[in-house]
Structure 1
Amino acid sequence: MSSGTGESAVQSVDRALTILKLLARDGELGISELAVELGVHRSTAFRLVATLESHDLVEQDSERGRYRLGVGVVRLAGATSARLDLVRESRFVTPRLAADVGETVNVAVLVGCEALYVDQTAGPSALQSHNWVGQLIPLHATSNGKVLLAHAPGELAAEVAAGPLSAFTANTITDPVRLHAALQEVRERGYAIAVDELEDGLTAVAAPVRGADGTVIASVSASGPSFRLAESGLAGVAEQVIAAAQDISARMGCYSDMSVKRRTST
């Protein structure tokens, strides 16, 4: 791409964002008004609006022919709001879990074919815990990822399993059949374990967090050095992680029998 083409693309993005700001300010505007505001020809303003309209970011009033913000903006705002709500509500629970298990606690959400860490709480044993917040991680090689993938639409699991499944350690699952079996196990027992799968010496246990409609919206995990999180004690850690996940779910509006029972007994 030449520098001129690059500058033109940046200018188009800037103008498109300006259109969104103008519509947010004025409610509705016509093409001629937008062209004047932007200082461009009507045809340029129309092309920019048409692009935004194709992504549902603006919509046209069929009777008046003027444009306003579209439902795509609401979806983007809603997604951001939901994540902020998740982080806010999880912080009532994750510090206690981190203190109880003595390890780092992370909250992750599904983003495309990866998991995104949105919050982290360090436990007392985590001397120099790696900050995972804002990082994307593979679904097949992590406990959080396997929880999210196990409860994702079937086509996503098939897409991820189709690979390639990158090997991060000798323990990483790279065989599609093994991955499908592991996901089925996650659904049956209610939690996922990853031992030395993303990094040698790192073990993690994760459980699903559900929203008001009962669907899985996130995953919460406890992770630490494998020598501290020995396999013989992972079942106990899993119980604590599951309980924390249910508490967060309840705070997000999911009142399953188990979460209600926990909330009324504490």
Structure 2
Amino acid sequence: MNSDNQQNKYILQSVENALSIIDLLCEHEELGVSEIGKLLNVGKSTAFRLLTTLQSKNYVYKDENSKYRLSPKFLSIGDIVSNRMEIINKVHPFLVQLANYSSETSHLGIWYSKTEVTFIDKVTGKNSIRMSSMIGSNKIAHSTSLGKSLLAFSDEATIDYYLNNAEYKLNTDKSIKNKEDLRSNLIKIQADGYAVDDEEAEIGLVCFAAPVLVRGKAIAAISVSGPSSRMNPRKDELTDMVKKIADEIGSSIV
């Protein structure tokens, strides 16, 4: 089986059709249900259900002439993609520097939602081990050093919301168990200027992270990760380095 056939067997027709509607509305300023059905070669009722689904998620809207258009949501999506690409381009050389210095894996992360962070860049060092982090993957913030450093340097309203709404899942016996423990951890991070994931997400994995501050606001965080046997003996050295590089990144963005 060639690669095209292999890929095609995993494609969901309804999702493909919905995305095709978005493509059509990029080409045409507005279209009606019948027009979309004809262009997609699907029945009017099918086109209507697809459009209703897209409308419910605010990807399209219906104007006064019952024509469908792309919604302003795509403006915010474009901004998100643009901002992520911009910060990746600016930070990547610093991640390379951190990975080369430590010989371990460095990461860049930002907020994905009010309780999750997402990894948007990663550089592996010469001694890097295999770990579960993937570019684009999302994790509960306090289960990562990246997320904890972002959270610790957020405003009080953001911290309060997180403490009361996050899921306190126990990945290991070292995981943070409740909001009281997390609050104490955040106070320490604020004092130290860095966060530690001490085998809280994976047994044997230790991560050190620091926030990237721009005008006092944490816009991202960087981390260095590796096995506890190598990371813990170098804790002071590596936390100093990750803080130094995070400060350099923040200064370069201002």
> Shorter chain as normaliser: what TM range?
0.7 to 0.9
Distance in structure 2 (CA, Å) of the matches to 1:145 and 1:127: 21
Aligned counterpart, 1:245: 246
Aligned counterpart, 1:105: 106
CA contact (8 A) 2:211 2:221 kept: yes
TM-score between the two structures when normalised by the length of structure 1: 0.75
Deviation at residue 192 of structure 1 after TM alignment: 0.5
Q: Secondary structure, in 3 states, of the residue corresponding to 2:231? A: coil
Kindly indicate whether residue 167 of structure 2 is the aligned counterpart of residue 166 of structure 1.
no
Change (3 A) 1:187 1:158: farther
Stretch moving more, 88-97 or 76-85? 76-85
Aligned counterpart, 2:6: none
Deviations 1:197-216 (A, max 9, x none): 223333221011246x7643
Aligned counterpart, 2:8: none
Distance in structure 2 (CA, Å) of the matches to 1:236 and 1:22: 54
Distance in structure 2 (CA, Å) of the matches to 1:141 and 1:51: 34
Deviation at residue 86 of structure 1 after TM alignment: 2.6
Aligned counterpart, 2:89: 88
CA contact (8 A) 1:140 1:165 kept: no
Distance in structure 1 (CA, Å) of the matches to 2:60 and 2:86: 26
RMSD across aligned positions (CA): 2.8
Report the number of matched residues. Answer: 237
Deviation at residue 41 of structure 1 after TM alignment: 4.4
Change (3 A) 1:44 1:201: closer
Change (3 A) 1:141 1:14: closer
Aligned counterpart, 1:206: 209
Change (3 A) 1:47 1:100: same
Deviations 1:198-247 (A, max 9, x none): 23333221011246x7643322101223333336x534422321222233
Q: Secondary structure, in 3 states, of the residue corresponding to 1:91? A: helix
TM-score between the two structures when normalised by the length of structure 2: 0.78
Deviations 1:98-126 (A, max 9, x none): 223333211123334433322222234x1
Task: List alignment gaps of at least 5 residues for structure 1.
Answer: 1-9, 256-266
Q: Secondary structure, in 3 states, of the residue corresponding to 2:143? A: coil
Kindly indicate whether residue 225 of structure 2 is the aligned counterpart of residue 223 of structure 1.
yes
Task: List alignment gaps of at least 5 residues for structure 2.
Answer: 1-11
- Candidates 163, 166, 173, aligned match of 1:157: 163
Distance in structure 2 (CA, Å) of the matches to 1:250 and 1:32: 54
User: Percent identity at matched positions?
Assistant: 30
Change (3 A) 1:90 1:131: farther
CA contact (8 A) 1:149 1:183 kept: yes
Change (3 A) 1:38 1:200: closer
Deviation at residue 23 of structure 1 after TM alignment: 0.5
Distance in structure 2 (CA, Å) of the matches to 1:24 and 1:214: 39
CA contact (8 A) 1:140 1:146 kept: yes
Q: Secondary structure, in 3 states, of the residue corresponding to 2:147? A: helix
